[in-house]
Amino acid sequence: MFRSTLNWIGASAASLALAAAGGLAALAPGAAHALDCGANNGYTCQGAASQYAGGFNPGVGSGGFGGGDCVATRTPVVFIAGNGDSAISFDMPPAAVSGYATPANSVYDELKARGYNDCELFGITYLDADERGAPQYNYHQPAKYQILKTFIDKVKLYTGRGQVDIVAHSLGSSMALAMLRYHGYQASVRRFVNIGGGLRGLQTCLSTGYQSPYAPTCNAEAYVFPYDYYTFGLYPSTGVAFYGYNRWTGSGSNSLRAMPAIYSSIAFYTITAGRYDQIQCFTTSYSAGCADSALFAAASNLKAQVDIGFGSAAYAYDWDWSDGSPYNIGGGDTSSGVGHFRSKTNAGRIVYNMLATTCTTGCANGYVGVNGPAVNR
């Protein structure tokens, strides 16, 4: 039961029966294509795990992409995927949204079509094959932070640039934020784009309890010896020590949502599907606050938080975890709309605006009204 219901915060073939409605999107005429999604199941790419070129060989992680016969003139972008997913899924073709035009490009191809070259786009797969196959057991821990930091160090060395921009989806967002905190790595990051990260925890984790051996993804801080609060899951904090306390998902000054205030030198952005996100808004029983799960707390360097959710509200269907249902049939991704996964795969234009412009209220320019609705949160 837990395996079937916890293949979330990223992607897994057993979790969501999402249709590849848009088929394989065509590249813009003349656009180079160093990363190839390969076959896909509608929400994850299944091509070659490692797609490096130009002598770029990070020697860390379980796959990724980047490098080529070129010179980086822009701040390089590092893509970090969600739970059960891999880096190459940032080339996942967009899907059709009812009443709107399907975006022409994947997130990766959109940046390529707008001038980024192969030496400016990189991705790291921090979960191995076994971990990707059992996402309910994955959680935040220093060993994963080291993979992310080492990879970014290799990108900086390869490109000769002192900073990177991070574009992260779901568990990748909270993993990257914890990495910044653990390693004091903020000086190496210029901009941070969070797509659907569980920054405030997942209300649906209330079903598992704060220390579950069946779903460590949903645990609170790890009360093990020696105690290490850098090992944690996505249980919404109770605020009570030893009984579900989780500083990361809470509202305190050291929480994930407070990261913009902690790291004032980084420009932060969010893309969310809000109440249409079937991972964060799983059931009616735990819907309170779920639409805000991906949102940072207000800060001067929090430039924009854009909600592109559309379709059926995820909590339109009350699937109790105890019934063994294999997935939640509600949510934007399952209703010709935009939910947890399409907020990544369909949002290339918004990601570009967040990285290459100084947008605040206009980060959805070129997307809103064309590829789907968008509102600032």
The CATH number linked to 168 is 3.40.50.1820
* Separation between Cα atoms, residue 200 and residue 305, nearest integer Å: 15
* Separation between Cα atoms, residue 219 and residue 212, nearest integer Å: 6
Examine residue 219 and state whether it is found in any structural domain, yes or no: yes
Q: How many alpha carbons fall within 13 Å on the CB side of residue 215?
A: 23
> If DSSP codes are grouped into helix, strand and coil, which group holds residue 275?
helix
Examine residue 203 and state whether it is found in any structural domain, yes or no: yes
pTM, two decimals, is 0.90
Residue given tokens 């959710």 in the structure block: 309
What total of structural domains would you count in the chain?
Answer: 1
Q: How far is CA 24 from the centre of its chain?
A: 21
H or E element, residue 176? helix 171-183
Examine residue 197 and state whether it is found in any structural domain, yes or no: yes
Cβ–Cβ under 8 Å, residues 84 and 62: no
Contacts of 268 (CB under 8 A, 6+ apart): 191, 192, 194, 259, 260, 296, 299, 301, 302, 303
- Token duo for residue 260: 């913009």
Cβ density class 21-51: b for 16+ within 10 Å, e for less: bbeebeeeeeeeebbebeebbbbbbebebeb
pLDDT in tens, the chain (377 residues): 333 334 444 443 333 333 333 333 333 333 345 899 999 998 899 999 999 999 999 999 999 999 999 999 999 999 999 999 999 999 999 999 999 999 999 999 999 999 999 999 999 999 999 999 999 999 999 999 999 999 999 999 999 999 999 999 999 999 999 999 999 999 999 999 999 999 999 988 888 889 988 889 999 998 665 688 999 999 999 999 889 999 999 999 999 999 999 999 999 999 999 999 988 887 666 778 899 999 999 999 999 999 999 998 876 554 444 433 334 556 899 889 999 999 999 999 999 999 999 999 999 999 999 999 999 99
Closest CA to 68 of 55, 77, 58: 55
What's the confidence (pLDDT) of residue 271? 99
Examine residue 301 and state whether it is found in any structural domain, yes or no: yes
Examine residue 10 and state whether it is found in any structural domain, yes or no: no
Examine residue 49 and state whether it is found in any structural domain, yes or no: no
H or E element, residue 267? strand 267-272
Examine residue 85 and state whether it is found in any structural domain, yes or no: yes
Q: Containing domain of residue 87, as a range?
A: 60-376
* 3-state secondary structure labels for all residues of 92-155: CCCCCCCCCCCCCCCHHHHHHHCCCCHHHEEEECCCCHHHHHCHHHCCECHHHHHHHHHHHHHH
Examine residue 24 and state whether it is found in any structural domain, yes or no: no
- Token duo for residue 321: 């975890």
Long-range contacts of 261-266 (CB under 8 A, 24+ apart): 261/297, 261/299, 262/181, 262/186, 263/180, 263/186, 263/189, 263/301, 264/299, 264/300, 264/301, 265/186, 265/187, 265/301, 266/186, 266/189, 266/190, 266/191, 266/192, 266/301
